[in-house]
Amino acid sequence: MSRNIGALARQLDDAARFARAVPQIAEPLGLEEAYQIQAASMDLRFGRGERLVGLKMGFTSRAKMVQMGVSDMICGRLTDMMMVEDGGSIRIGRYVHPRVEPEVAFLLKAPLSGPVTALQALSAVDAVAPALEIIDSRYENFKFSLTDVVADNSSSSSFVVGPWNRADTDLDNLGLIMAFNGKPQAYGSTAAILGHPLRSLVAAARLAAQHRIPLNAGSIILAGGATAAAALSPGAHVTLEMEKLGRCGFSVEE
Ligand code: OOG
Ligand code: MG
């Protein structure tokens, strides 16, 4: 590992640990290098005892691409420490400037890697659930380039998974409402995720192979935000209601 990759990984890891924003990366990076920084920063977490539980997809909807000005699909690693139980709470002080977005989660029952068809991807799925992802860019003002955000583990921070539903639940065009204290913040549809969330799982298998991220039975994959993300503040009780799949939520504490 080059000295720069290790130093940048540590800088981003510290930024996440101590909830302290850092400037965007000054030196020009290639995408492969950005994923190497991501991997190196995650190794620091694994060294502290965190465990890989899956992968999150990013920029799989137009709403997200437009909001952040980035138009390539990316992925990040999820660990056990990022999981918040459904109905639980988060402390705002642990984050730099957290936002939340509605997602769909897949639970795998078999390994998934490389080029697969939608049918092959579906046959590796054990269950599907409504989910909320709490993203938190470690960069000042939530501003980044494609390589910046990849190095920053694609803004992964926390996530909540709702009730698991059967794998054969049709995910096509399910309506969803994300609300803060009962007041709708975003409306959308699962169709916003690449036309169908299963396409995001197919892309996840490809990116996982490309970046050597293991996806096995028990892995969780977040398909990507279906709407733009909304900023969180203390006192918010966030709920997601998704047609057919059910609801999940969490509270934000001071
Ligand atoms: C990057 C992460 C994108 C999604 O669902 O598209 C993402 C960001 O927006 O900070 O999680
Ligand atoms: Mg997301």
> What's the pLDDT tens digit per position in 176-200?
999 999 999 999 999 999 999 999 9
Beta bridge partners of 145: none
Name the residue of 12, 60, 64 to mutate for ligand 1: max ligand atoms within 8 A of Cβ. Answer: 64
pLDDT tens column, 149-181: 999 999 999 999 999 999 999 999 999 999 999
The distance from CA 5 to its chain's CA centroid, rounded to whole angstroms, is: 22
Q: Distance between CA atoms of 131 and 37, rounded to whole angstroms?
A: 27
pLDDT band at 218 (very low <50, low <70, confident <90, very high): very high
Question: Which atom of ligand 1 is found nearest the CA of 133?
Answer: 11
Residues 205, 214: contact at Cβ < 8 Å? no
Whole-model pTM: value is 0.98
Residues 86, 245: contact at Cβ < 8 Å? no
Query: What are the angstrom distances between the C-alpha of 213 and each of 103, 109, 112, 205, 241?
Result: 20, 16, 10, 9, 30
Residues 179, 93: contact at Cβ < 8 Å? no
The ligand with the least distance to the CA atom of 63 is: 1
Residues 25, 152: contact at Cβ < 8 Å? no
Phi then psi dihedrals of residue 56, to 5 deg: -115, 140
Residues with CB under 5 A from ligand 2 (ion): 133, 225
Residues 150, 74: contact at Cβ < 8 Å? yes
> What is the CB < 6 Å shell around ligand 1?
56, 58-59, 64, 68, 101, 133, 135, 137, 149, 154-155, 224-225
Question: Which atom of ligand 1 is found nearest the CA of 99?
Answer: 10
Per cent of the chain over pLDDT 90 is: 98
By the 10 Å C-beta count (0-12 exposed, 13-18 middle, 19+ buried), 26 is classed as exposed
Average pLDDT of the chain to the nearest whole number: 97
Q: Distance between CA atoms of 185 and 76, rounded to whole angstroms?
A: 25
Beta bridge partners of 237: 251
Q: In what order do the strands lie in the sheet with 89-91?
A: 89-91, 246-253, 237-242, 175-180, 183-189
Per cent of the chain over pLDDT 70 is: 99
Question: Which atom of ligand 1 is found nearest the CA of 224?
Answer: 5
pLDDT band at 2 (very low <50, low <70, confident <90, very high): confident
Q: Which residue's CA is the closest to the ligand 1 atom numbered 8?
A: 155
Q: What is the pLDDT of residue 25?
A: 97
Mean pLDDT calculated for residue range 84-111: 98
